[in-house]
Structure 1
Amino acid sequence: MRTRTIGRVSVTELGFGAAQLGNLSRSVTDEDARAAVDEAWSQGIRYFDTAPHYGLGLSERRLGDALADRPRDDFVVSSKVGRLLIDTPERAAAGVLDDAQGFIVPATHRRRWDFSRDGVMRSVEDTLDRLGFDRLDIAYLHDPDAHWEQASTSGVAALMELRDQGVVGAIGAGMNQASMLARFVRECDIDVVMVAGRLTLLDRTAQLELLPLAAERKVAVVAAAVYNSGLLSTRIVSDDASFDYRQASPENIRAAKDLAAICDDAGCELPEAAVQFPLRDRGVASVVVGMRTPDHVRSAFRRYSASVPAVAWRRLVEHSHM
């Protein structure tokens, strides 16, 4: 599989999004989680993204277990800081689940926002313990929307310190918006941003400011949520499809159906174009796709590898909706 670079780190163009290994929306067995990672490895995927938030650390533990026997220099793992996990054994003992956050796991911990130096240092240490690694290839500030002041000062400074020590290879921020990511690029010494849902066929707001600025500052971009949480994930767009984790508006449904029709006319499928679209920009290092099962992995790889005709790209690029 082709690779691109993030600072000194090399990532595969297709990345494994491990949120679903944290029982996002429904439970996954340890065996199925390992099988998904094994299949990703067999398909040539060497970039894996996780976070403490995903299943209260379950995703990190499962990912670390699945990669434990692989040569450490042969793969890249990113995780995130900003949500510390605080023990709450009494809630777990009472049978409380963490499903309010979307993850079907016992509420063994609660999340606490913390972008302070101590919070970031503790978060990375805990992540490395759960993964079973001695270093983290990429660390992102996770969803700092309401925490700009602390995240952009003590949070970034702590990650820079860890980068200087070699504990972390590359640092950045990951968010569901483009404007604050552009501010991080403009004002902070970071290597990469992960933009979720704002660099898709349907929502291209990251192209307005973030991508040009990142190219100017030599900051890499990783694209996530390229299906906009479902709307672009099927060849035929459903009227009850989701956009950004809620029912898609009639306007977005119509726009997605227009995109699907362009693909059908050109002999390709909407999800294939959705996965490949961000990679048309050389500043985008990788597209991270959520994967739960070996079938998900194979499907994502087929979409990444499929041929999208030039005529489809011309029409899709011209069909700007947002």
Structure 2
Amino acid sequence: MSAAIVERLNGLGFGAAQLGNLYRETSERDAHEAVGAAWEGGIRYFDTAPHYGLGLSERRLGRVLQHLPREEIVVSSKVGRLLRPGPGTGDDLANGFAVPDDLQRVWDVSEVGIRRSLEESLERLGLDRLDILYLHDPEEGPEEQALAEGLPALARMREEGLVGAIGVGSKDQRVLTRAVRTGLLDLVMVSGRYSLLEQPAEADLLPACREHGVGVVAVSVFNSGLLARQEVPDDAHYEYGPAPQPVLQRAWELAAIARDHGVTLPDLAVQYPLRRPEIRAVALGMRNASQVRTNLQRLQAPVPQAAWDAVDALPPLDLPGARA
């Protein structure tokens, strides 16, 4: 079953962090219309997590998915953080989400915690099963326990038929590579470490995935919005902070290549990871129907081979401090 699910990932996926009010509020209408536009545009992979808006993303996504043909969609969520009663005195913007802090995240990568997290995600989503379950950001929590106890627990859940496929999602290619080498995974979700801007995952992660037959979903391919517009401003952000000069310089070089070949920087950013056979899909965060339609156009924009040749001719961007 797991191989069949991985094979169904193809092209563009819908990342639902914005449905959890990432950085700012997303209206109920926009959330509903975004998922609907994704379905109408042919997107069949939808990814969420309890972390996104303290469960709000799962609830909003589930309300729409419940009305779609379940056998035609692939749904993933994540484990590692349980949601438990919070202080209820403010908001969750310190964690990036514009929601009340009536819940809080509690790390639990034990088998009991992971199974409980799956049950609670299914309840929020209103679904009877998940196709893919990822261990979320193990490097930010108890990493050793996550790999030693959490991954085998996920494998048992897959064997029991509770989930179709299992993986790990992280921005840290080191921990992803460790997880792949256990031989337990079907997928990894790599955030920002294989993109038009930078490709540190080429060194170890992608070869390990190829060796172990593990599929890859690339996310954060705009690198914190740096590549999301054709014109890259001087005060652009990278890794959630001001972009260092070498990063800005590379982004300007890439924008010039796009312009010289009649495409846009975001066109290149969306399509670049899919040139690698290991990468099954690119999942993009989309807040409303307009963003969905724009990203579908980016995926389909014709890119001349000369543009890719110019991109490939650039030396690797060496930013070891940004690859954690």
Residue 305 of structure 1 pairs with residue 300 of structure 2: yes
- CA offset digits 1:109-134 (Å, max 9, x no partner): 11011110011001001000000111
Deviations 1:264-315 (A, max 9, x none): 1111111111111110011101001110011110111011111111000011
Equivalents in 2 of 1:142, 1:267: separation in Å? 38
Corresponding position of 1:267: 262
* 2:73 pairs with one of 64, 72, 75: 75
- In 1, Cα distance between the equivalents of 2:254 and 2:317? 10
Indicate if the aligned counterparts of 2:183 and 2:212 stay in contact, CA closer than 8 A.
no
Q: Among residues 141, 150, 154, which one is paired with 2:149 in the alignment?
A: 154
TM-score (norm 1): 0.95
What's the CA shift string for 1:175-228, capped at 9, x where partnerless?
Answer: 012111111111241100000000011110011111111011100011000000
2: distance between equivalents of 1:288 and 1:139?
A: 15
Name the amino acid aligned to 1:275: V
Question: How far apart in 2 are the matches of 1:293 and 1:151?
Answer: 34
Asked whether 1:321 is paired with 2:317, we answer yes
In the TM superposition, 1:1-322 aligns within 5 A as 7-9=3-5, 10-88=8-86, 91-92=87-88, 94=89, 96-145=90-139, 146-319=141-314, 320-322=316-318
- Cα deviations across residues 62-88 of structure 1 (Å, max 9, x unaligned)? 000011111111101111000110123
Aligned length: 314
Q: Distance in 1 between matches of 2:133 and 2:102?
A: 24
CA distance in 1, matches of 2:280, 2:158: 19
Deviates more, 1:220-229 or 1:186-195: 186-195
Instruction: After TM superposition, give the deviation of residue 148 of structure 1 in Å.
Output: 2.4
Distance (whole Å) between structure 1 residues aligned to residue 121 and residue 21 of structure 2: 18
Q: Which segment is superposed worse, 168-177 or 145-154? A: 145-154
Q: Does 116-125 or 261-270 show the bigger shift? A: 261-270
Counting aligned pairs with the same residue, the percent is 49
Q: Does the residue aligned with 2:91 lie in a helix, a strand or coil?
A: coil
Deviation at 1:147, TM superposition (A): 2.3
Between the aligned partners of 1:46 and 1:52, the Cα distance in structure 2 is 20
- C-alpha separation in 1, matches of 2:301 and 2:142: 40
Structure 2: stretches of 5+ with no match in the other structure? 319-324
Following the alignment from structure 2 to structure 1, what is the Cα–Cα distance between the partners of residues 4 and 184?
Answer: 15
Moved beyond 6 Å, runs of 4+: none
CA contact (8 A) 1:163 1:170 kept: yes
The answer to whether the Cα contact below 8 Å between 2:2 and 2:164 also exists between their aligned partners in 1 is no
Determine helix, strand or coil for the equivalent of 2:25.
coil
Given residue 71 of structure 1, which amino acid in structure 2 is its aligned partner? P
Q: Distance in 1 between matches of 2:157 and 2:127?
A: 15
Q: CA deviation at 1:6?
A: 6.3
3-state DSSP class of the match of 2:266? helix
In the alignment, is the contact (CA less than 8 A) between 1:235 and 1:271 conserved in 2?
Answer: yes
For normalisation by structure 2, the TM-score amounts to: 0.95
CA drift at 1:12: 3.2
